[in-house]
Amino acid sequence: MRENKTRLIAVNDGLDTINGEDDFTPFRNILHEFYARDTSCKLKSSFKTKGMSGKHCTGTVAYGYLWDEKRENWIVDEK
């Protein structure tokens, strides 16, 4: 059991720390943390690239606008 009485359940790995930890658990935690950080860096980079090229970085339009047919530009909603 951990210091703060927390329990780790990794469904895909078949791990539940209530049954005890194996020797690979710390390494598994490091690998999962690295994957999460790597994914975060890639997402930030893609949004930055998209923004620097002048494209919109949101999935929704601002109030008073609509998407064009290709969902690349905003057009004014006359209503």
Residue 40 lies in a domain: yes
Q: How many domains does the chain have?
A: 1
Contact 44, 37 (CB under 8 A): no
Whole-number Cα distances in Å, 19 to 1, 2, 12? 9, 12, 16
Residue ranges making up the domain that contains 40: 9-76
Question: Does the pTM exceed 0.95?
Answer: no
Residue 2 lies in a domain: no
Residue type, 28: R
Residue 70 lies in a domain: yes
The structure tokens 């909603």 sit at 77
Residue 4 lies in a domain: no
pLDDT at residue 35 is higher than 60: yes
The tens digit of pLDDT for each residue in 42-61 reads 999 999 998 899 888 877 88
